[in-house]
Structure 1
Amino acid sequence: MAYDLKQEEEVKEYIENLGIEYRFGCYKEKKPEVCHLLGDYLEAIKKDFNKAAKVFKSNCLDYNFGKSCLKIGNYTLVGKGNEKGDPAEALTYFEKGCSLNEPGACLHAGMLLTATGPNINIKRDVPRGYNYLKKSCDSNDDMACHYLSGMYMTGVPKNVADFNPHRPEKNKNIDFLIKPDMKQAFTFAKKACECGNMYACANVSMMYKKGDGVEKNETESKRYFEIAQTLQKAHETTKEIKFQQGLDGK
C-alpha cells in the first residue's frame, strides 16, 4: 500500500503499521536487527523508554546484538527507562557490546574504566580501558581516537591527585600509567580527524603549527584548520534526524 505522507491520517496509519511490522519481526521471527528497530521505535516514536529498555536489554542478552548492548548500557548509565543509574552495571553491557564488535560500546567501556569522579562506582583500570578504546579507534570511532590522543597529550597519572593540569612542570616527577607522548598524540589525533572529528582536526592543525609530535608545517596546519572549519560548518547546518538510525548509528 502506498501512503501519502503529506496526509496526517495516513502518516499515523503508516507509523502504527510500522510498529506492528517491527513487533512481528522481533517477537515472531526473532530477528535481532528488527528487535533493535522496535526498541528505536518505542524510544523515538512512542516515547516509552521503559518498554524500549526491556527490548534493548533482551536483544543484547538473548540475541547478542551489539548495538542493543550499547543502548541498554546508555540507559543503565543514566537511569533511563526505569533502569537505575548504575555505571558498574552499564559497564557489563558495554563490555558485552564490545565483545560483539560494536565500536561505540568499546568507547564507552574504555571511558568508564579510565574515568575518575565521585559518581563512578567502578575500579579504575587504565590498561583494560585503553584496550577497549584502542579497539574502538581501530574500528574508526572518531571519539575513541580523539580520547586516546588526549591521554597521550597530558599523560595518565597513576595517582590523579598528584597531577596538576595547570602547572605541567610540576608533573615531571610523578608516576604515569601512560607517559605524555606527543608523537602518539599526533597519530591518534590525525586518525580521529580522518574519521570526521572536528576537534581533532583543530588539534592536528595546532600541532603542525607548533611542531608538537610532528615536524612544523604551516601548509599542513592551514589545511587541517580548513578541514576543521568545514566539519564545524557541516555540524552546525546539518539538522537531519534519521529514524532507523539504530542500525548504522550510535
Structure 2
Amino acid sequence: MKKLLITLAFGGLLFAMNHGQTNDPDLQLALNGKFKQAFSGFEKRCMNKNDGYACGMVGYMLDKGIGGIEKNHKEAIKYYKKGCELKDADSCTLLGYYEYKQGNTKKAKELLNKACKLGNKDACKYLNKF
C-alpha cells in the first residue's frame, strides 16, 4: 500500500519535473525551485477558487515539508480533505492511505472508491486487494 501511494503522489510531479513542462503556473514555479511562491499560489487557488488540485498540492507540500515549507501533517490532512471534497482524485487517494494507516479500513475503502470513480486507476487497483 505504502509503495503504491508514494508512486501515486510522486507520479504527476515527477513526470512534470522530468519533462520540465506544465501548463500550471504554480507547478512551474515549484519546478523552478520557487517553492514558497508555488505554495502561496496553490493556497490562493485552493481557498479563493476552490481548486481541488491546488488544495492537494498544498497538502502535499505541507505533508512533506517541501522547499522550506514547514512540515505540518495535521494541516496537510485538512487540505487533502478539502481537495477530496472538491473531487481531486489524488487527495482522496492520499486520505484513503492515511485512514488505512490509522486502521480505519471502512473509511479507506470509501475514499479509495471515490478516487477510483474520479479516475485514479491505482486507487481502483488497490480496491481489488481489500
**TM-score (normalised: structure 2):** 0.74
Once the two structures are superposed, the pairs formed by residues 60-75 of structure 1 within 5 Å of their partners are 60-75=46-61
What is the aligned partner in structure 2 of residue 57 from structure 1?
43
Mapped contact 2:33–2:67 kept (Cα < 8 A): no
List alignment gaps of at least 5 residues for structure 1: 1-35, 116-122, 153-250
Q: Report deviation, 1:71.
A: 0.9
What is the aligned partner in structure 1 of residue 122 from structure 2?
143
Give deviations 1:7-57, integer Å, cap 9, x for gaps.
xxxxxxxxxxxxxxxxxxxxxxxxxxxxx822112112x311111111111
State the distance in 2 between where 1:124 and 1:95 align.
Answer: 18
Structure number with greater Rg is 1
Mapped contact 1:77–1:86 kept (Cα < 8 A): yes
List alignment gaps of at least 5 residues for structure 2: 1-22
Task: Specify the SS of the correspondent of 2:70.
Answer: coil
Counterpart of 2:26, as a letter, is G
Q: Larger helix proportion, structure 1 or 2?
A: 2
Equivalent of 1:105, from 82, 91, 96? 91
What is the aligned partner in structure 1 of residue 16 from structure 2?
none
Mapped contact 1:42–1:49 kept (Cα < 8 A): yes
How many residues were matched structurally? Answer: 108
Once the two structures are superposed, the pairs formed by residues 232-243 of structure 1 within 5 Å of their partners are none
State the distance in 1 between where 2:126 and 2:110 align.
Answer: 12
Q: Which has the higher contact order (CA 8 A, sep 6+)?
A: 2
Mapped contact 1:52–1:81 kept (Cα < 8 A): no
Task: Specify the SS of the correspondent of 2:96.
Answer: helix
Is 1:90 the equivalent of 2:59?
no
Equivalent of 2:67, from 54, 75, 81? 81
Runs of 4+ in 1 over 4 A off after TM superposition: none
Shift in CA distance, 146/88, structure 1 to aligned 2, threshold 3 Å: farther
Once the two structures are superposed, the pairs formed by residues 1-250 of structure 1 within 5 Å of their partners are 37-44=24-31, 46-115=32-101, 123-150=102-129, 152=130
Give the superposed CA RMSD.
1.8
